[in-house]
Chain A
Amino acid sequence: MAVAVTQAPARPFARPKSEHGFWSWISTVDHKRIGILYGVTAFLFFLVGGTEALLIRLQLAGPNGKILTAEEYNQLFTMHGTTMIFLVVMPTAAAFGNYFVPILIGARDVAFPRLNAFGYWAFLAGGLFLYSSFLLGGAPDGGWFGYAPQTIGKFNPGHGIDFWLIGLIITGIGSLTAAANFIVTTLNLRAPGMTLMRMPVFVWMNLVVSFLLLFAIPVITVALFELFFDRHFGSNFFNANLGGDPVLWQHLFWLFGHPEVYILILPAMGIVSEVLPVFSRKPLFGYSVVVFSGIAIGFMGWGVWAHHMFAVGLGPVANSAFAASTMFIAVPTGVKIFNWLATTWGGDLRLKTPMLFALGFIGEFTIGGLSGVTHSIVPSDYQQTDTYYVVAHFHYVLFGGAILGLFAGVYYWFPAVTGKLLDEKLGKIHFWLIIIGLNLTFGPMHILGLQGQPRRTYQYPKGMGWEMWNGIETLGAFIIALSILVFIVNALKTARSKEMAPPDPWDARTLEWTIPAPPPAYNFAEIPVVHARDDFWHRKYTEDENGRLVRIPAGGADEASGVTEHGGGGTTTAEHDDHGDGHGHGIHMPSPSYFPALAGLGIFIIGYGAIYHWWIGAIGGLILLAGIFGWGNEPLAEEH
């Protein structure tokens, strides 16, 4: 790497400079590396959460299961839900957002690179903190929704719930900072010509999600603190015996929790909106409508939360109002589905793995959406609530929806990140196995739910007639596991392979395919100038009088923006800049920094202080302050 000729005077803790090796990952502020950190960490948590699911399914495979005690079961389903939501789906979306949003808008990085890094460290800290509970007296067992009064000290002594509360406060801080970062980045760092209505839909969905996070995280944070204070400082927010109201917990939790489900699904919808046009060789049908539906879902998502509380006793007025709003929110969602279908209609479909997952999303999510609509009818919901019917619904939308959508993103963007294509054959096997597996696992849950099998229950007795479907569900879960194994084999095989993909392997539409893969640190040698939506596509193709695609001959590229229609720009940068760090171009990227990780470490330690001894918290606090002061005092980029 470029040797620094003049350096700042040597300090005891010098600013990291390295670009390789373990410490370079600890100190990175490069949004792409941070994206990889999020993605890999989230995938590892996915394997853990999946294992928890398999244990649950083993317990429930037959009646009177003896594999787990009731307490162990409660811990497992709590951790399974909490993990999948907070430590898998959200961070995977963050991985894609981090890696691609700056590139998709033609920027070099996010608005606040160090804050971005901090967001990852807070996620990691919160996740590890939560999982340390297994080793420190037991994991939380109050469900991912932590309802009082089961979770107050009197009924839940021990530290499990505290690990849950503080773990989520910590990850919440990370999500909040990431949200603010994405909002400012998307609004402020778009390349010239990249108007809001030319942005890729994934960027739009990420923006809506960021606003949802910005406003929803504070609500759950208050709830988490109130419950923590109930458990440790004698307050009685949720203790009905002393004037508290458990329903307040539910309001605060679901005020967060409902926007949260849109936070979970919108990024996957964004990915689907990117993949379908590429593999149909047609623009997204009704771009503006898809964008505005996403925004509408974001707004309306705030008006439906009490549909999680229909059976609590809020009364007919409240229940009816929320039932109506819940029915209405199906509209923008349905609109998107129709637009996606119209996108594929008459298109030149290429059924590659990303496209299969995107199409799978549409089918499976629709099933989940339909069961959701049945929940909106209050008397119907009285029957369904707290049964496996609900479990079916949210797994269809979260697994059939979000997870399939995120896998579409993995297969689609793998070559953009690594320069290699995942194996198509293995990809297809993964896809079909997961479709079979998920439908076998979650389909029968509709039936069992309506037959009365309650959720969150560690055993069911013989003679209810539930044995067969439960057995099939367990089989389905292991088929899902097998499919993931296939994916892991694919990923490892591809990592070891030397075969590089051609540039722009999917013949795609957006800016991430115009730069080399893996991209240089600075993304674009020259910031592109954007003339249209799907700008890259229009540089490659035009249409003849019959509306057929005609490839624009070589040399028709906009040289000023440094984008060639080969989608590489590789030769130019390689000539000047062997290290991809921008020095040959006079580009200054933000310098690496340890302080975001240090601040994350400080918060991690504060967490233990809150549970055990105040002086542990004080030590964590000092580390946090050191991190913040160091961060505040160092410039964003060191001069070389």
Chain B
Amino acid sequence: MQAAIAPAPHTPAPGDHDYAVTGIDSRKLGMWGFLASECLFFGALISSHLLYRARAPQGVKLPHDVYDIPYTSVSSFVLLMSSLTMVLALAAIQRGDHRRLRLWLLATAFLGTVFIGGQVYEFTTFTHHGVNLSSSVAASSFFLLTGFHGVHVTVGILWLMSLVGISLRGQLPAEKHLQVEIAGLYWHFVDVVWILIFTVVYLVPNHH
């Protein structure tokens, strides 16, 4: 009596757990809704920074004065590449290659960790130059924005590692590729936010 979820495609009936009038899996639709709300979240943080980026007391350095663009370009590149490894992980599970899935997931988590490590180093350097959360509103808004972004990346890393664990337990078969896809959507979004931050915060001129 059960609708068989077998290799043949199955059309969900009302009451089935995967019934979806729009044709989009509910979890996927839910994640995109969440990502849309995150645009408002990061938008507020970016706007706060745009308002304050040039404001510091006399003689106090702005974040802009201490940026190391080549360094941040490299860490941006690292995060970009992590999106590549993420999508390769998804491709792997879609073709049933679990070894590669875990490999690419680990690579993504690794690159994410390198990115976070890079940020930690970068922020420590800034602090040595007198640019910290309370030195100026410019710095406050910089650190809050990049800090929240970093928290998002960290949550993503934990999520990816959990998927590796689930896969190792044999509980992530190819049919459950959506779980990887959804983690991927979150990860790519976090990358996309950084694309914006790198450009708007670091590169856009701040002449005051």
Judged by CB atoms under 8 Å, the answer to whether A and B touch is yes
Count residues of B near A (Cβ-Cβ below 8 Å).
Answer: 40
| A-side contacts of B36, CB under 8 Å | 214-215
**CB–CB B21/A187 < 8 A:** yes
Closest chain A residue to B23, Cβ basis: A188
Given contacts A187-B22, A226-B48, contact A234 B30 (CB under 8 A): no
Given contacts A214-B36, A222-B41, contact A632 B137 (CB under 8 A): no
CB distance from A193 to the nearest CB of B (A): 10
Given contacts A188-B19, A218-B40, contact A235 B48 (CB under 8 A): no
Q: What separation, in Å, do the CA atoms of A252 and B38 have in the docked complex?
A: 15
**Interface mask (B33-55 → A, CB under 8 Å = 1, otherwise 0):** 11011101100110010011001
B193 within 8 A of A: no
Q: Which one of B20, B30, B45, B134 has the greatest number of beta carbons of chain A within 10 Å?
A: B30
A248 within 8 A of B: yes
CB distance from B150 to the nearest CB of A (A): 14
CB distance from B167 to the nearest CB of A (A): 13
Contact partner, B14, options A183, A187, A192, A255, Cβ 8 Å: A192
CB distance from B102 to the nearest CB of A (A): 17
B178 within 8 A of A: no
**CB–CB A587/B15 < 8 A:** yes
A137 within 8 A of B: no
**CB–CB A632/B162 < 8 A:** yes
Q: What separation, in Å, do the CA atoms of A221 and B21 have in the docked complex?
A: 32
| B-side contacts of A547, CB under 8 Å | none
Binds B, one of A237-245, A283-291, A607-615: A237-245
**CB–CB A252/B30 < 8 A:** no
A233 within 8 A of B: yes
**CB–CB B140/A235 < 8 A:** yes
A281 within 8 A of B: no
Contact partner, B33, options A184, A191, A245, Cβ 8 Å: A184
A577-610 interface (Cβ within 8 A of B): 586-587
Count residues of A near B (Cβ-Cβ below 8 Å).
Answer: 49
Contact partner, B37, options A107, A176, A629, Cβ 8 Å: A176
| B-side contacts of A248, CB under 8 Å | 48, 51
Q: What separation, in Å, do the CA atoms of A420 and B20 have in the docked complex?
A: 35
| A-side contacts of B185, CB under 8 Å | none
Q: What separation, in Å, do the CA atoms of A423 and B24 have in the docked complex?
A: 46
A81-114 interface (Cβ within 8 A of B): 106-108, 111-112
Chain B contact residues, majority secondary structure = helix
A217 within 8 A of B: yes
| B-side contacts of A307, CB under 8 Å | none
| B-side contacts of A107, CB under 8 Å | 14
A236 within 8 A of B: yes
**CB–CB A235/B22 < 8 A:** no
Chain A contact residues, majority secondary structure = helix
Q: What separation, in Å, do the CA atoms of A111 and B27 have in the docked complex?
A: 8
**CB–CB A191/B134 < 8 A:** no
CB distance from B47 to the nearest CB of A (A): 8
Q: What separation, in Å, do the CA atoms of A193 and B43 have in the docked complex?
A: 39
| A-side contacts of B200, CB under 8 Å | none
| A-side contacts of B148, CB under 8 Å | 225
**Interface mask (A155-170 → B, CB under 8 Å = 1, otherwise 0):** 0000000000000000
A189 within 8 A of B: yes
**Interface mask (A506-547 → B, CB under 8 Å = 1, otherwise 0):** 000000000000000000000100000000000000000000
Closest chain B residue to A238, Cβ basis: B137
A222-273 interface (Cβ within 8 A of B): 222-223, 225-226, 229, 233-237, 242-245, 248, 252, 255
Q: What separation, in Å, do the CA atoms of A632 and B162 have in the docked complex?
A: 10
A219 within 8 A of B: yes
Q: What separation, in Å, do the CA atoms of A586 and B1 have in the docked complex?
A: 9
CB distance from B201 to the nearest CB of A (A): 16
**Interface mask (B43-80 → A, CB under 8 Å = 1, otherwise 0):** 01100100110011100000000000000000000000
Given contacts A188-B19, A242-B57, A586-B1, contact A214 B37 (CB under 8 A): yes
Given contacts A188-B29, A217-B37, A527-B14, contact A252 B134 (CB under 8 A): no
CB distance from B4 to the nearest CB of A (A): 15
| B-side contacts of A226, CB under 8 Å | 48, 144
Interface residues, chain A, CB within 8 Å of chain B? 106-108, 111-112, 176, 179-181, 183-184, 187-192, 214-219, 221-223, 225-226, 229, 233-237, 242-245, 248, 252, 255, 527, 586-587, 629, 632-633, 636-637
